[in-house]
Amino acid sequence: DRLEQHMKELAPADKKVIEEFIQGIRACIRSDLPIEKAPELYGRIDGLKLLSKMSPFLRVMRKWKRIPIQDFAKRFSDPFLRQAFPLSFDLPDFPMMGMLATLAWMHNKSAGYPVGGSLEFSRAIERRYLDSGGEIHYRSPVSKILVENDKAVGVRLADGTKHRGNIVISAADGHSTVFDMLEGKYINDKIRGYYDKLPVFPPLVQVALGVARSFEGLPPSIIYPLEEPVTIAGREHKSVGVEIHNFDPTLAPQGKTV
Ligand SMILES: Cc1cc2nc3c(=O)[nH]c(=O)nc-3n(C[C@H](O)[C@H](O)[C@H](O)COP(=O)(O)OP(=O)(O)OC[C@H]3O[C@@H](n4cnc5c(N)ncnc54)[C@H](O)[C@@H]3O)c2cc1C
């Protein structure tokens, strides 16, 4: 509601476009994504239940997944919104769906910034696993997944030791798992297509600076338009984003900032 009000204060003439945008976010807020099971564990009944639960969301998705943020921004008549709106997700051809879903998840508090950063997030999973009796072996790169009769039965580590298990799950990236650890023996056109045909997500560069002052009164996230665009690796950038991490007290002592 606050976002809608703020945008309407900034650009009263764009009331209709703003309402369409906010309606998209609200539709995503109401959709509950099914995360209780991995997709491959869904049976036919689960599938039907899922379809009825997800149908309002699928309708929203069909509409918004085809509209790049840059194109939607052109519908605002207000010059500030036209310029500022696409900067909030400044990636080429990024669909509106990604923006709506992110804002909806943040509203529902199912997405956000974990205090302590991603390491603390991983540590929480580690603690839970260890408390439940699990064991973790760090610094143990896997060179091969052992396969017998087309079933994964264990792993061989880079140091040559073999470890067998009833269930083998790779949490490594798909390419290493499919092409290195399984030696490319279990691929089809669909899997190969993921690596050969899908567009590569543009890399992001983040520079973290420790600064001996605080920045009271400034918002945690600011996007500065550049006076002159900068071209890096063939792509023109018209803005630079700054995150002031004072909302995370674990990153810097009092009075200092990352
Ligand atoms: C630029 C960028 C920005 C992103 N921003 C966000 C964000 O803001 N919010 C968000 O939620 N997500 C974000 N993501 C997505 C998020 O980072 C990934 O979805 C997430 O890290 C995937 O976690 P994972 O554990 O499945 O895989 P990974 O993090 O890829 O971990 C796989 C691990 O397997 C290890 N490994 C590989 N081969 C072997 C081997 N042979 N033996 C042993 N280990 C091996 C790798 O070293 C790696 O540590 C972003 C991704 C990118 C690329």
Domains with residue ranges and CATH for the chain? 2-107 (no CATH), 117-196 (3.50.50.60), 201-258 (no CATH)
Cα gap 72→237, rounded to integer Å: 19
Place of tokens 């900068």: 230
Q: Say if ligand 1 is within 6 A of residue 172 CB.
A: yes
Rounded to the nearest 5 percent, the helix, strand and coil shares of the chain are 45, 15, 40
Residue nearest to atom 36 of ligand 1 (CA): 172
Show Cβ contacts of residue 94 under 8 Å, excluding neighbours closer than 6 positions: 68, 69
Residue nearest to atom 20 of ligand 1 (CA): 173
Q: Cα 150 to chain center, whole Å?
A: 33
Q: Say if ligand 1 is within 6 A of residue 205 CB.
A: no
| Ligand 1 centroid – CA 107 distance (Å) | 25
Q: Please state the atom number of ligand 1 nearest to the C-alpha of residue 172.
A: 34
pLDDT at position 34: 65
pLDDT at position 106: 92
CA angle, residues 30, 31, 37, in degrees to nearest 5:
145
Burial of 35 (C-beta count, 10 Å sphere; 0-12/13-18/19+): exposed
pLDDT at position 134: 96
pLDDT at position 236: 86
pLDDT at position 58: 81
Show Cβ contacts of residue 59 under 8 Å, excluding neighbours closer than 6 positions: 27
Single out the residue of 241, 207, 200 nearest to residue 88, CA to CA: 241
Cα gap 247→244, rounded to integer Å: 8
Substitution site in 94, 173, 245 for ligand 1 pocket (most atoms within 8 Å of beta carbon): 173
Place of tokens 């006076």: 227
Beta bridge pairs of residue 104: none
Q: Say if ligand 1 is within 6 A of residue 22 CB.
A: no
ipTM for the complex? 0.93
| Ligand 1 centroid – CA 1 distance (Å) | 34
- How would you classify residue 183: left for phi > 0, otherwise alpha for psi between -120 and 50, otherwise beta? left
Token output for 155: 């792993």
Beta bridge pairs of residue 142: 157
pLDDT at position 35: 67
Q: Say if ligand 1 is within 6 A of residue 141 CB.
A: yes
Q: Where would I find the H helices in the chain? A: 2-10, 15-30, 44-64, 69-73, 79-87, 96-107, 117-131, 174-175, 189-196
Residue nearest to atom 41 of ligand 1 (CA): 142
Encode the chain (258 residues) as per-residue pLDDT tens digits: 999 999 999 999 999 999 999 999 998 888 766 667 777 777 888 878 777 777 777 888 888 999 999 999 999 999 999 999 998 887 778 899 999 999 999 999 988 899 999 999 999 999 999 999 999 999 999 999 999 999 999 999 999 999 999 999 999 999 999 999 999 999 999 999 999 999 888 888 899 999 999 998 999 999 998 999 999 888 888 889 999 999 999 999 999 999
pLDDT at position 214: 92
Cα gap 162→233, rounded to integer Å: 43
